[in-house]
Amino acid sequence: MSQSLAYFRGQIVPIEQANVNVMTHALHYGTAVFEGIRGNWSDSEERMFVYRMREHYIRLLLGCRMLMMDIGKTADELCDITENLIKACGYKQDLYIRPLAYKSEELIANLKLQDLSSDFTLIMVPFGAYLESDGALNCCTSSWRRIDDTIIPPRVKISGHYVNSILAKTEATLAGFDEAIMLTPDGFVSEGSGENLFMINDGKLVIPPVSDNNLTGITRDSAITIAKEDLGMEVLERRIRRSELYFADEVFLTGTAAHIQAVGRLDSRNIADGETGEYTSAINEIYQKAIRGENPKYRGWCTEVSVS
């Protein structure tokens, strides 16, 4: 039988016991770093396939470095904690795994990171589709610009800067769109509110550089690898103008939560025929098998966890 548990203050406890004090610094100031990791259940193999877990924890620790947090654990140790919690919870379905490193000091009115203690917690919940669309997404260009690296570095998942994404996502959904596409302060394409962006023209994959205020996406990296190695596509990393998306053959978004999702419309204009394109479909088909351990070539992307 499955149960809701958390790793909290060094031990596995019922999730209702994983509580922090209202004075906790991260609660007030967003001084935390998180990750989103997918656990993909395979009925045929009766085990969980955790997608690129170690890479997620390497990125988490880079974020910890930025916020001067020492959680006293290596990426491999964090992977072990995650595997143990998966086994303890006993879920036999797809999971969203949320590690969080945070400034745990019960202290306000102190903005000096070096003075503040840190801790690590981990939860996981059953999770299905992130983007609520049966087909290609209907998106808009957000009026909210992507936060610049000189303000808060977006290449890691610092909790406080996600207010920027939340404002964009809220604006888009209240206006009837599925997702927001965000621009850099100087007007170039950055990414979605929670996904990296790709454009395809003449069989070439074009992506904005990470230096345009983008997350160093792990699913982004997977899509690039599949496009190059399996489909033989040329991959170009360069700045993209907003209007280029209107004229693209295909546009799609990638993220651990979102997987790979086509964009069919942007700002009330169809992208090509408004449907999921040929290359997007091909990349997604390979990716979907890879994350469940069904593609031998990419089996190394997954950590296999047996659940009794």
Q: What is the CATH number of the domain that holds 160?
A: 3.20.10.10
Given the residues 92, 103, 112, 157, select the one marked as catalytic. 157
What is the extent of the structural domain holding 276?
137-290
User: Can you name the residues that pair with 252 across neighbouring β-strands?
Assistant: 198, 262
Does a structural domain hold residue 308? no
Domain match, 109 and 169 both = no
A 10 A CB-CB count for 131 gives 16
Which pLDDT score is estimated for 142? Answer: 99
Pairing of strands 234-237, 204-207: parallel
Compute the distance between CA of residue 122 and CA of residue 138 in angstroms, rounded to an integer.
Answer: 33
pLDDT score at 219: 98
Question: Is 61 part of any domain?
Answer: yes
Residue 182 shares a structural domain with residue 66: no
129 CB-near residues (< 8 Å, 6+ apart):
none
Number of compact structural domains in the chain: 2
CA distance 249 to 270: 10
pTM check: above 0.75: yes
Which of 96, 126, 156 is where one domain is finished?
126
> Same structural domain for residues 113 and 218?
no
Q: Which residues of the chain have pLDDT under 50?
A: none
First and final CA of the chain: distance in angstroms?
9
pLDDT digits (tens, 9 = 90+) for 83-134: 999 999 999 999 999 999 999 999 999 999 999 999 999 999 998 878 777 7
The one-character DSSP state at 187 is S
User: 297 catalytic, yes or no?
Assistant: no
pLDDT at position 133: 74
Per-chain mean pLDDT for the chain: 97
